[in-house]
Amino acid sequence: MADKNKIVPGNVSGDFFVDTTCINCDNCRALAPTVFGEYGDYAGVKKQPENDEEIHAALRALICCPTGSIGTHEKHDIKAAMAELPIHIDEGIYYSGFNSPKAAGGKSYVMLHAGGNWMTDSPKFHPHVTNWLDEHGGLRYIFLTHRDDVADAQKYAEKYGAKRIIHREDLEAQPDAEIVIDGTEPVQVDDDFLIIPMPGHTEGHCMMLYKNRYLFSGDSLTSNYYRDDGLECWGPLWTWYSFDVQTESLEKLRKYEFEWVLPGHGRQWHVGMPEMKRQLDNLLNGAQHEPPPDWKIKLAHVEAYADYMERSNQPIYAAKQRKIAEEIRAQMAI
Ligand code: SF4
């Protein structure tokens, strides 16, 4: 529950507030853009909701906030906002909602499919999600883009007998996954689902192309929600394996056609295929000239990520990140 004694400085006073447990995942700004803004390292209320529609959107954000950082001074009935989750995106694709702190607030999606339903990454294991899945035919597969965002995938797999899919290089995150992807070649699962290994963010990071239209892009490719003007890749501060390898992986996307990008973090992105190709070209050209990171900031990120890996029960990768931190420290001392 959000703490009214820890309200983010700058938060516009009134009913809704954000507290300093916020991890700045952007979810509330995406779900209620007229209400929530950014205040340094936190989200905050930039304008109190003024009508039913804005209250409804703000309550939806409150429900989906991974850290329970959004609170209200007044009592609200959240049933109507809850009933809207998961949120329909296009065809049989839904944003699951209920983002998990175990995935740093990353987004999970569900695809309703005649051959059995799919989930990408995982939301909190929440009765509202399981009731909805029960009503819509359960789950057959859970595609895990990479080790950071597995959250409660095991619980969903156990409840539905679903098969979890993850790359061998990130298997530490889900050691008893039912389907393990090896190497760097794409793997077709059923007719509509193409899993594409895309190392870079982590060694085992993968994307999935669905129906040659929808790219579930994990933590390598997203859209620029600050400028709202196109595709963006994750920068060197956020690539735990290698930014250069990530760029090589993204080159592979030139041969695919898609018009939606559905990222783990950041905003979903929908443009026509020619425009998507143009934006991908821009992105790849920019990535070739990406300057090295500020090593002091990179060191802080790597150390924080190593701690996150420890908390996520992935000691081998935590140790690997600590070694990288040592190497950065040694490089900075030269
Ligand atoms: S959804 Fe929650 S954690 Fe994410 S930015 Fe908003 S308040 Fe912060």
For residue range 136-148, list pLDDT tens digits in order.
Answer: 999 999 999 999 9
Give 61 Cα–ligand 1 centroid separation in angstroms. Answer: 8
* CB-ligand 1 contact for 32 (6 Å cutoff): no
Measured from the Cβ of residue 276, the count of other Cβ atoms closer than 10 Å reads: 22
State the closest ligand 1 atom to the C-alpha of 18, by its place in the atom list counted from 1: 7
Q: Which two tokens stand for residue 317?
A: 């990768």
The yes-or-no verdict on residue 227 having pLDDT over 80 is: no
Of the residues 7, 70, 95, which should be mutated to test ligand 1's pocket, given the most ligand atoms within 8 Å of the CB? 70
Domains of the chain, start order: 4-82 (3.30.70.20), 85-288 (3.60.15.10), 295-333 (no CATH)
Residue 258 identity: F
Query: Smallest Cα–Cα separation from 109: which of 265, 314, 292, 289?
Result: 265
Residue 224's pLDDT is: 77
Report how far residue 218's alpha carbon sits from residue 172's, in angstroms, rounded to the nearest whole number.
18
Q: Give this prediction's pTM.
A: 0.95
Tens-place pLDDT, residues 268-278:
999 999 999 99
Answer whether residue 214 shows pLDDT above 70.
Answer: yes
Whose structure tokens read 């909602």? Answer: 97
Q: Is 23 in the pocket of ligand 1 (CB under 6 A)?
A: yes
- pLDDT, residue 190, reads 87
pLDDT on residue 230: 87
- The torsion angle over the Cα atoms of residues 213, 214, 218 and 219, rounded to 10 degrees, is 70
Q: Is the pLDDT assigned to residue 33 strictly greater than 70?
A: yes
Does the CB atom of residue 101 touch ligand 1 within 6 A? no
59 — pLDDT class (breaks 50, 70, 90) = very high
